[in-house]
Amino acid sequence: MFKLRKLAALFVAPLALLFVNIFSTPASADSTTDYNNKVAAAQAHLADLQQQLQTAQENLASWQNSSNAQADQINGAQTTATQAKDALETAAADYAAKKTVYDALYAQEQIAERQVAQAVAALNVASDAVDSTYISYQNAMAASDAAQAAVTQAQNDYNTKLITSGGQVNAGLVAGGQANAGLVVDVYTNISRLGNPPSRSTTAYTFCKTVVLPNIDYNWGGGDIFGCGGDFVMLHYHGYITYSTSGRVYFQAQADDGFYMQINGSQIINDWSLKGCSANSTGSFAFKANTPYSIDAWYYEWGGGACSTLQGLPSGGSWGTVPAAQFTQQATVTQTKNPALKVILDQKTALYVQAVAVEENANQVYLNAQNQYDGCWLAYVAQGQNLSAQKNQLNNQGNAVADAEGNWQGASDDKAIADANLLDLRNKYNSVFKAIQNANDQVDSLVTAVEKAQADLQAIPLPSAQSMRVGKRSNVRVLADGAYTPRGLFTPTPK
């Protein structure tokens, strides 16, 4: 260990001496190489600044030329803006004059409009009066027509509703001759062509034949129906039915398929649909004793089984087939006019005369209202023509005002454009002026920089060899210390 420390000491001493010599040496002057490098760099920097100065001077000259051209443009734009201002004032004055005339014409047109409005109001009042009086006239006509129809009906009742044995005779009865028993039946075929159920029509289908039956009581099953086929057949029963006692009789029809019946024009049975031999509809009729009433019945067979039986339920009796004794083809009675109906006819006639008088008065009131309306119409037409003339004058002046407005607007637009152009040129001139200032500042700055670079070039010191001279340095010599002997193996000795 002692030998290592000694060896380290030998190395540290020379190193310390070396550092002392290095940091204690005085600063040396530039060499010729350093001098030449500094001169070259300064000359290059000076040349670059001179080039920048030349470019800045050329740029300044360009901006000055541009400024002169813009000054001429500004002068021209100022002249245009002044002319546009004068044109605008002229257009505004022309508009004001024409608008004054227009306002006067408009005032006259407004008066004409009020006169027309008054004429319209009077015309509408007259029109409402015409409508109102005509409605009254229509009502009077309707009342007169109704009264006339009542007279006609009363006259017809007096002529046709005859009485016999103290009772009323039904319309449609045949006077004179012997009444024939049974019902007349018209048979039709091909009833399927218009769909189910068929129409109860005497012209829509094929007529087969006419037969006379004692009553309505048949069950054909699937067989032929009066020689006209077993399917798609329709029967039309018509004649008269009479009961010997007064009272209400209920009716139903066992039918396959449909059955329909009226007595004296009133519907009694409406069972007009496909079904088996059954009854789905029941109705009744009030008979007067020994008074024939017309019967109109229809039956159709679509397919399959077929039956048609009319059943009745008299007051105090039971359901059963209506017997043949109740049916006749026509009726014979002794007919006389009813004095009571003559009284009604006279009353209806008097009412009709009164209704005609009311209608005549309503007609005159309506004609008067129509004449009043015609006068209002003529006044309205005259006022309308005056208004039309006023509107034409106003429209013509309005067109002149519109032209003046267009000229004024155009002059205003032209002035705005001229002012905007002048302002734009001035703004551009301000930008150019600022650019000239910046160019002058740049030239001045570069002139100063060139002068400084020239001074810096002149101030570079010349090289000196004496400032670079050094003395001889003393070196320390080192001697070898000998070989190192390692320690031997240690073995502890127990105590």
Residue type, 9: A
How far apart, in whole angstroms, are the C-alpha atoms of residue 107 and residue 415?
A: 34
- Which of 337, 353, 379 terminates a domain? The answer is 337
Is position 96 within any domain?
Answer: yes
Instruction: For residue 318, give the CATH number of its domain.
Output: 2.60.120.1560
Based on the fold, state whether residues 372 and 323 are members of the same structural domain.
Answer: no
Is position 32 within any domain?
Answer: no
> Do 89 and 83 contact (CB within 8 A), yes or no?
no
Based on the fold, state whether residues 89 and 196 are members of the same structural domain.
Answer: no
Q: What is the largest CA-CA distance in the chain?
A: 189
How far apart, in whole angstroms, are the C-alpha atoms of residue 269 and residue 253?
A: 8
Based on the fold, state whether residues 196 and 322 are members of the same structural domain.
Answer: yes
Residues 6+ apart with CB under 8 A from 213: 182, 183, 185, 237
Is position 242 within any domain?
Answer: yes
- Which of 291, 311, 337 terminates a domain? The answer is 337
Question: In this structure, what token pair is assigned to residue 380?
Answer: 């309205």
How far apart, in whole angstroms, are the C-alpha atoms of residue 186 and residue 209?
A: 6
Based on the fold, state whether residues 333 and 351 are members of the same structural domain.
Answer: no
> Do 262 and 297 contact (CB within 8 A), yes or no?
yes
Please choose, from the candidates 248, 224, 244, 228, the residue with its C-alpha nearest in 3D space to the C-alpha of residue 236. 228
- Which of 318, 337, 356 terminates a domain? The answer is 337
Per-residue pLDDT reduced to its tens digit, 423-456: 998 888 888 888 898 989 999 999 999 999 999 9
> Do 223 and 230 contact (CB within 8 A), yes or no?
yes
Is position 454 within any domain?
Answer: yes
Tens of each residue's pLDDT in the chain, 495 residues = 444 444 444 444 444 444 334 344 444 456 899 889 999 999 999 899 999 999 999 998 999 898 888 888 899 999 999 999 999 999 999 999 999 999 999 999 999 999 999 999 999 999 999 999 999 999 999 999 999 999 999 998 888 887 654 334 444 444 444 568 999 999 999 999 889 999 999 999 999 999 999 999 999 998 999 999 999 999 999 999 999 999 999 999 999 999 999 999 999 999 999 999 999 999 999 999 999 999 999 999 999 999 999 999 998 889 999 999 999 987 645 456 788 888 998 999 999 999 999 999 999 999 999 999 999 999 999 999 999 999 999 999 999 999 999 999 999 999 999 999 989 988 888 888 888 989 899 999 999 999 999 999 899 998 876 666 666 777 776 766 666 677 778 778 887
Buried-exposed string 195-222: b where 16+ CB fall within 10 A, e elsewhere: eebbeeeeeebeebeeeebebbbeebee
Based on the fold, state whether residues 238 and 299 are members of the same structural domain.
Answer: yes
Based on the fold, state whether residues 322 and 239 are members of the same structural domain.
Answer: yes
How far apart, in whole angstroms, are the C-alpha atoms of residue 176 and residue 178?
A: 7
Based on the fold, state whether residues 352 and 456 are members of the same structural domain.
Answer: yes
Per-residue pLDDT reduced to its tens digit, 365-418: 999 999 999 999 999 999 999 999 999 999 999 999 999 999 999 999 999 999
DSSP E strands in 272-371: the ranges are 282-287, 293-301, 306-313, 320-321, 327-328
Based on the fold, state whether residues 98 and 228 are members of the same structural domain.
Answer: no
How far apart, in whole angstroms, are the C-alpha atoms of residue 112 and residue 118?
A: 10
Residues 6+ apart with CB under 8 A from 49: 446, 449, 450, 453
DSSP structure string for 377-390: HHHHHHHHHHHHHH
Bridge partner residues of 300 (DSSP)? 234, 258
Predicted pLDDT of residue 481: 66
How far apart, in whole angstroms, are the C-alpha atoms of residue 152 and residue 19?
A: 159
Is position 8 within any domain?
Answer: no
Provide long-range contacts, Cβ within 8 A and 24+ apart, for 172-178: 172/294, 173/240, 173/292, 173/330, 173/331, 173/333, 173/335, 174/330, 174/331, 174/332, 175/332, 175/333, 175/334, 175/335, 176/332, 177/330, 177/332, 178/332
Is position 179 within any domain?
Answer: yes
pTM greater than the 0.85 cutoff? no
Is position 492 within any domain?
Answer: no
Helix (H, G, I), strand (E, B) or coil at 305: coil
Question: In this structure, what token pair is assigned to residue 199?
Answer: 């129409």
DSSP structure string for 431-443: HHHHHHHHHHHHH
Based on the fold, state whether residues 359 and 286 are members of the same structural domain.
Answer: no
Which residue range(s) make up the domain with 297? 167-337
Helix (H, G, I), strand (E, B) or coil at 416: helix
Based on the fold, state whether residues 370 and 294 are members of the same structural domain.
Answer: no
Based on the fold, state whether residues 315 and 242 are members of the same structural domain.
Answer: yes
Residues 6+ apart with CB under 8 A from 159: 337
Based on the fold, state whether residues 205 and 294 are members of the same structural domain.
Answer: yes
DSSP structure string for 26-74: PPPPPPHHHHHHHHHHHHHHHHHHHHHHHHHHHHHHHHHHHHHHHHHHH
Domain count, the chain: 2
Is position 157 within any domain?
Answer: yes
- Which position has the token pair 């020994």? 290
